[in-house]
Every structure is written in structure tokens, then in C-alpha cells.
Structure 1
Amino acid sequence: MGWAIALHGGAGDIPRSLSPDRRLPREAALRHCLQLGVSALQSHAHPLDVVELVVCELENHPQFNAGKGSVLTTDGTVEMEACIMDGKTMRCGAVSGLTTVVNAVSVARLVMDKTPHIYLGFQGAEAFAREHGLETVDPSHFITPENIERLKQAKEANRVQGMAQQIDYTQPIKQDEKSEVLAANGGSGDSQIGTVGCVAVDRDGNLATATSTGGLVNKMVGRIGDTPVIGAGTYANSYCAVSATGRGEAVIRATVARDVAALMEYKGLSLQEAAAYVVGERVPQGTAGLVAVSASGEVTMPFNTTGMFRACATEDGYTEIGIWPTEQE
């Protein structure tokens, strides 16, 4: 048994022709956040603190669809959501509809630690965050030029990201580039790049998970995805910790994160077997990916999309940072 950590920066139709200026900043951010988590685990930090630390850092990176980089609703506003869960106690906290809090995952942690509840949303969650002194900013802080352009493209195509849209809205593109992007994406354009998450286990088998997102480009105001839904996008128990990414509605329907744990608990499957089955059989092709660790220090990062920004490290020295499937997969 040893510590292990895995994190993701979203899954979707990521063409292998993705330019370095779009790819490298996210890879660098994943590498940096992975090292933060590794250092914390090596210093005997609790996995809950590790996953909150890592996800906070990812939320502060504008290249991901969480925190600073959160995409916009159909009204041009930001509604962030996050979740955190402790495997040993199964305590958890979740939030939705945040518009001013810098780090949504820290609000979720406070909900878990400071209230008798699990889930707070919108004005109530905002007020709770302010009462506990969390950093807030004007909502305009999150309205970046890139996300304004993504929303414009989504509206022009009359699509919601992940709902059969025709463009990768994760990066604004010029009009004459659209056909090239479509060709690279095989015509589907079902990109889900952005949602961030982290799972960790320490040497004692303590597990934790956290996930954070801005949701879907051009989503309806008030829409809630899989990220804060316990058992869908985020789940941990004594067997494993899971953070999922992809098309939220599909992940919710399949209770993706909980199903991985249930297959281990009730069917005796290994972490890799359980995760592979859920991603391969429980959700439609092209809709989901996840990162997971087990109590014994196993790690797995399956996805059924073209790619998934992901990274992991284990105490025995294994490290992986990738986007597309490896040859072994």
C-alpha cells in the first residue's frame, strides 16, 4: 500500500492536431498541480487537504473550465459548482450557482465541515461563503474575452456545449478555421475540455476526491451538472475515490462515480476493471472519462472520448501526464 494521486482537466473531442498554444499551458498546469499534490502527500497531508489544494490551483488557471476559466450561461453569467468527499467517513459537501467566490471547492469543503448539510446553492451558498471569509470578487472577474467568444460561437451555432454542438468551444476560433476543427473532430465536435478534479489516497488508505466546473457553454441559467451530484461526478468510500468529467447529463444518468465503487464493493472487481466497465458500458461513447484511486494505491484514468487531460503519480515512482490514449490502451 502506498500513496497515489490522479487529476484531470476535462475530457472530450480533443484532436491530435491541437496546437501547442492550446495544449501546452494545460499540460504545464497539470504537471504543476500534480507536483503540489505529490509534495503534500509526501508530507503526510490528509487526502482531503490534498484534493482541495490541487483543485483550488486548477480553478485559478484560466485554461480550464472551473474557477477563473468558467464558461458562460446563455445570459452571459458564470455559475460555478464543486464537490468534495472523504472516503473514510463519507462526509461530503457540494455547491452550485456560485458567481463571486474565487474557489468553489473551498466552499464545498466548508459546507462539509461547518454545516449539517451536504449541498448549498446559489444565493445561500454565496452568503455562506462570505460569512466564513472566503475570497470573493466581482462577477466580472470571471467574464474573460475567451469565454465571451465561446458563448458567441455557441449562440451562432444554436448549441449547448456537449449537446451535439458543432465546434470545440473550449478555445475561440476564427471563422475560416471551423471546417478544419470539424474535420479534426470527426464532425461531432463534442468537446468537454475543462472540468477539473483530483483524487488521492495516503499510505494509510484514506481516500478523498474533489471536482469543480463552470458547466456547459450556453447552458440554461440554473442548470446543475454532474460535478456536485454525489455519486455522479464525485464519490468516495472505503474502496475508492472517483472524479468524473464529460457530458454531465450522461454522467448523472449512469451514476458513474458510484457505480465504480459499487462494482468493487459488490462484485469484487479491481479498480481498473470497475472503471473500465463503467466508462465502456454504462455511458454512451464519447461522453465521459474519470480518474480514480483505490485504498491500496491503484490508479486508473479511463475515458471514452477522443482525449482527456490527465495526470497521475504513485509512491512507487510511476508518473503519467497525457491527453490521448496511450499505446497500451
Structure 2
Amino acid sequence: MPPERREPREAALRHCLQIGVDAIKAGRSPLDVVELVVRELEDNPHFNAGKGSVLTSNGTVEMEACIMDGNTKKCGAVSGISTVKNAISVAKLVMEKTPHIYLGFDGAEAFAREQAFSDGMETVDSSHFITPENIERLKQAKAANRVQIDYTQPIPKAEEETSLPNGDSQIGTVGCVVVDGYGNLAAATSTGGLVNKMVGRIGDTPIIGAGTYANSLCAVSATGKGEAIIRATVARDVAALMEYKGLSLKDAATYVIEECTPERTAGLIAVSATGEVTMPFNTVGMFRACATEDGDSEVAIWHDEPCD
């Protein structure tokens, strides 16, 4: 990966780690911290969420997000967001201010507009999210007649009519998991979905137990091919293996990624109530980072750079 692609993403991860650590030190709840960090990632065009969201087959943006509190299992989720700067904050308001868990499309947009005045939620024109990079990604996907995770290298002319395997991701769904010194947990995930996805398609990110889950044992946020993650109920299965089989977080997450999801489709970040961290993936790489309150931190991409 050329430095001009790698370095801004690594810098963004380090910046977000510091935001999270500072918030924990200030006594913010894990639920507040995951929202803060994911908002920052949504505002960064180098990731597939918020400003960097990839485009549907119609050239539009349909963002998804989910947030969950481990102690109470309260959660909120949205799909089809196209005019709100931070979808994760809409998801949190669904959790806090409605009797529901999940709002989508016109209903979610209308709810967000209602909340904009009282909660300072920033609404924007949908063109805010249409970047030149994502127009090019959509062009590539249409040329290959495929739906893809996000960015792939340009497709050789001779291969344009074939069905190609997924390219190596160079942007991606964003997520954050947090545990505080008392063992309280939270998870949040946000995404623009798949390049060239059908209008109205919903992925794993907003589905509780698939792309996002938190309980008293662990908090999990997944990334990759949503259809594969939904079929494997990735996030919930990590927690279930801990709860019912007594596995450690690392063993549970490794089993789910290596045995339950097809190769080159998924990865996750997870933290346990005791502070164990793991970030397994079965793709070539996954941008990931972790930090502790006492100053230790790591940023990694490839398999030979452990971040546990």
C-alpha cells in the first residue's frame, strides 16, 4: 500500500485513540466514548462511513449505524441516512428518545430532522457525501459488474467481463469498542455499505448481533461483507461462545472469524469486561488500533503486526 494511502489512515486512527482515551479519563461513559470516536471517523473521508461513504448503484449515499450499551443492552440503529452528517448520533437518539431500536430511510431521516433543533444534529445536503474518490470506486465496480467492499486497484481490461474475487480493502466500515475501569462496555459501528449496492440494501452494521453487539461480557464491532457477517451472526456468536462455552474473548473471536465466515469476508474488533482485546480478520489486512488509559497504544494493518 503506498504511503499516501496508508499514512492518513494511520494518523486518523491515532487521533481517534487519543479522543477515546481523553474521554475515558474525563469520566465519560463507554457509550459516550464510542459515539465520540465513531463521529470522528465518520468525518474522515478516508473511511467508508459518513463523509467517506461509498455509493449505491444509483450514485447515492445510504449510510447505516448502530450503537449498543453492554450493561443495559439498550441499542439504537439506523439505515438509509443521506442528509445527516453523523449517522451514529442518529442511532444513539433512536435508542434514547424512541420506543424503538431501528429506524430506516424516510422515517429515520424525518426523525433526525425533528431532533436537529434540540440536539444540535447537523444536517447537510446529500452532495456533501459524494466525493470524487467514491465516484471513481463506483465506476470501477460498474465496469466489473460487481458489488465490492470498497476500493480495489484498477481492473485490467482483459478481466473486465469476468467475475473477480473481492479486492483488498483500502477503506472500510468504522467501529469502536470500549471498556472502562469498572468493566462497563459499549460498541458502535458506522458504514456506507458496499460499492454499487442496490438501493435499499441493508448490511450487517445496524443489525444487532451481526455487525454490532455488547453485553456484560464483551463488546464487538464487525467489518467486511455484510451478507456473510449476517449469516454468521458474527458479533453475537463471539459473546455466545464466551457465555455458553466459557471461551476467552480471543478464542471466541478467532473461532468465529476462522470457522464461521468465508475466507476474505470479515474482521472484527472486540474487548472484554476484563480488558482483553482482540482484532482477528480473514482478509489480507484490516486497519485497526487499540489504546489503554495508561498510555499504551498500537496501530496495525497486516497479519504480522499483532494488536492484541
What is the aligned length? Answer: 297
Alignment of 1:211-250 (within 5 A): 211-250=189-228
Matched-pair contact (CA < 8 Å) for 1:95–1:108: yes
Match of 1:132, SS? helix
Q: Describe the superposition over 1:165-207 as per-residue Cα deviations: whole angstroms up to 9, x where unpaired.
A: xxxx526x6xxx545xx9xxxx734334310000000011110
Q: Describe the superposition over 1:246-303 as per-residue Cα deviations: whole angstroms up to 9, x where unpaired.
A: 0100000000000000000000001111111111111011110000000011111111
Q: Describe the superposition over 1:125-170 as per-residue Cα deviations: whole angstroms up to 9, x where unpaired.
A: 00101111121111111111111111111111111114xxxxxx52
- Name 1:297's counterpart in structure 2: 275
Matched-pair contact (CA < 8 Å) for 2:168–2:285: no
- Name 1:140's counterpart in structure 2: 127
Match of 2:94, SS? helix
Distance across 1 between alignment mates of 2:189 and 2:167: 21
Which amino acid in the other structure matches residue 82 of structure 1? A
Matched-pair contact (CA < 8 Å) for 1:71–1:217: yes
Match of 1:323, SS? strand
Alignment of 1:35-74 (within 5 A): 35-74=18-57
Alignment of 1:169-208 (within 5 A): 169-170=150-151, 178-179=155-156, 188-192=165-169, 193-208=171-186
Which runs of 5 or more residues in structure 1 are unaligned?
1-17, 163-168
Q: 1:34 to 1:299 in 2, by over 3 A?
A: same
Q: 1:327 to 1:73 in 2, by over 3 A?
A: closer
TM-score relative to the length of structure 2: 0.93
- Name 2:143's counterpart in structure 1: 156
Quick one: higher RCO (CA 8 Å, sep 6+), 1 or 2?
1
Task: Select 1:29's aligned residue among 2, 5, 12.
Answer: 12
Match of 1:111, SS? helix
Distance across 1 between alignment mates of 2:306 and 2:89: 37
Per the TM alignment, residue 327 of structure 1 is displaced from its structure 2 partner at its CA by 5.7
Distance across 1 between alignment mates of 2:122 and 2:95: 18
Match of 1:194, SS? coil
Distance across 2 between alignment mates of 1:204 and 1:279: 28
Match of 1:65, SS? coil
TM-score relative to the length of structure 1: 0.87
- Name 2:104's counterpart in structure 1: 121
CA RMSD of aligned residues (A): 1.7
Match of 1:285, SS? coil
Percent identity, aligned pairs only? 74
Task: Select 1:314's aligned residue among 284, 289, 292.
Answer: 292
- Name 2:74's counterpart in structure 1: 91
